[in-house]
Chain A
């Protein structure tokens, strides 16, 4: 299996006034294609920072990062934007849908930035909305959708660009447990299709729906274990 993500000795510190806050103290980690990895840890453990660096939203101080075999180094904003657009899909805790665009338009947005034509991207977006079971809600605005539906739109949006890796930051953080399982069910299904997914979470049940859990503590990996996946479909009627 090809390594989708490979990082070596990743370090990151933030300057807080005079004090320097060392958030990541040398992370070595790799993920292969088709993996579903949960990153766990208490708040302040550095899991969000790690995800931001992996998502090219932030830059590490030292260390190497290979994304799909490409060395990510000295990216300017434009280049980073291009890589994010082509290689990465994001799912956020607060959904981050554009509220004046309907579900379909939100899903087409990454495709718009890929330079795809209007007809084609609507067709493609519709395909992914169907995949997350929201075909009939395509023309609803985000505020007409429930939390779970919003997150499924966000998943469809992350999928639409057909990225190498999908990064999810507390994707169930704003949802009740039933809805969380529904969303995880969708995540598992798209993982079954071979997508590589990284999920940052602090919820144990969510983490156990992944195939591998990495525990972060104080900026280092405390534990990295493969687990037996709990299928979310068992909880979903």
Chain B
């Protein structure tokens, strides 16, 4: 392997057979390239989907009402379901054990929001203090609504960063300032940051304030819960599904909805959804691996094919070498040495090129569901070695056969 004479002999041969070497190399390099790119995109999809679910707490469960579609107990279909405070408090009590955080939400409508002379066209939502954990929103300044705000129906607001940028861009220190909601001053107590920009366009006020000040009564628009995190994903998912089903059953009973009515009450569990998507990405990844491995196999077949042709083409040369005193193993060694060298170099070239491409392009890829395609280096490098190994085995047999050909016959080969 480290015989310098042998290396010189190999380099001579390679230098003088550039096209052959190039073609062998190309098939190997493209095989590796395709595999790495495919694997990269598989990872990118997984990243993208993981990110979709990071926006809210991973274990969150959301409830929002709809319209009944089935006649039940004498009630006509087409009835709009309205959630009320009692549904929320009852659910919280019923599932006290399962729930980690909980919050109702009300969308405050028919209001005008002003800051000085400026009108703010953003949605105003009444939420509970635990909504922060459910939405996974990070405070960049000040604080979120707290328990005492809720108890005292405090007139306080928490604004998204986008609002801050758009409205308070020139204001030195907007915290503690007031905005008017339908003529009532609300004190700004904090600004929050969200992953998704459109979720930064919200104005949060305490739910109690929203209901009392803006004629909300005991109506709520939706409810959200989170479950305590569990290490095991499957366990967490099955808990979430069980909770979701129980909650749905309770709400359907409370609102006299047919058990099989799918449109009256929507209960959505992030984990259940995540499970479905993860299953999907699992399948996609499997598919990419499958395609990748097929590509590698095609590469190996290509390499062995070329090896076969190379050996055939060199039969006479092998005969000459043998007549001049080359030992059979030195013939096998020479052919394998050359093929391993070429596969290794081109394999790594394909690897470096594709990984470089992923490295440069990857971070800029932010299409829906594909984020930062990248590939595990260990995986990529092992595929190169697999390819080299396979190429070696594939090359060995023709080389061995060539070395075994009778010298006289080899010399007669045209």
List the interface of chain A (C-beta within 8 A of B).
52, 55, 57-58, 77-78, 81-82, 84-86, 90, 92, 96-98, 100-101, 105, 109-110, 112-115, 117-118, 157, 161
Contacts and interface: CB of A to CB of B under 8 A. Distances in A.
Contacts of B17: 100
Given A78-B327, A98-B317, A100-B17, A57 B408 contact: yes
A55 B319 CA distance: 13
Interface in B1-60: 5, 8-9, 12-13, 16-17
A110 B325 contact: yes
B408 A82 contact: no
B117 to A, nearest CB: 87
Given A52-B408, A57-B407, A118-B8, A113 B326 contact: yes
B264 to A, nearest CB: 82
A115 B322 CA distance: 15
Contacts of B66: none
15 contacts: A55-B323, A78-B329, A84-B323, A84-B324, A90-B324, A92-B411, A96-B320, A98-B317, A100-B16, A100-B17, A105-B12, A110-B325, A112-B9, A113-B330, A157-B324
A90 B324 CA distance: 8
B320 A81 contact: no
Nearest to A49: B408
Contacts of A85: 324-326
Contacts of A77: 327-328
Contacts, number: 66
Nearest to B324: A110
A161 B406 CA distance: 22
Contacts of B16: 100-101
Chain A contact surface mostly: helix
B337 interface: no
Contacts of A57: 323, 406-408
Nearest to B407: A57
B410 to A, nearest CB: 10
Contacts of A157: 324
A90 B226 CA distance: 88
Interface string B324-349: 11111110000000000000000000
Interface string B379-406: 0000000000000000000000000001
A118 B11 CA distance: 14
Interface residues of B, number: 25
B402 to A, nearest CB: 13
Contacts of B326: 81, 85, 113
B321 interface: yes
Interface-central residue, A82, A85, A112, by most chain B CB under 10 Å: A112
A54 B94 CA distance: 102
Interface in B129-167: none
A109 B324 contact: yes
B39 to A, nearest CB: 39
Contacts of A110: 324-325
B326 to A, nearest CB: 5
A110 B320 CA distance: 10
B105 interface: no
B202 interface: no
Contact of B321 (A82, A109, A114): A109
A81 B322 contact: yes
Nearest to A58: B408
A81 B5 contact: no
A115 B330 CA distance: 12
Contacts of A97: 320
Nearest to A87: B325
B327 A112 contact: no
A33 to B, nearest CB: 21
Contacts of B316: 96
Given A84-B323, A85-B324, 6 more contacts: A82-B327, A84-B322, A85-B325, A101-B16, A109-B321, A117-B5
Contacts of A161: 324-325
A160 B198 CA distance: 84
A58 B8 CA distance: 31
A96 B408 contact: no
Contact of A101 (B12, B325, B407): B12
B411 A96 contact: yes
Contacts of A100: 13, 16-17
Contact of B325 (A84, A92, A105, A118): A84
Contact of A98 (B8, B320, B329): B320
A101 B8 CA distance: 13
Nearest to B412: A94
A113 B323 contact: no
Contacts of B13: 100
Contacts of A84: 322-325
* Top 9 closest pairs, chain A to chain B, by CB: A85-B325, A100-B16, A113-B325, A110-B324, A81-B327, A78-B327, A77-B328, A96-B320, A84-B325
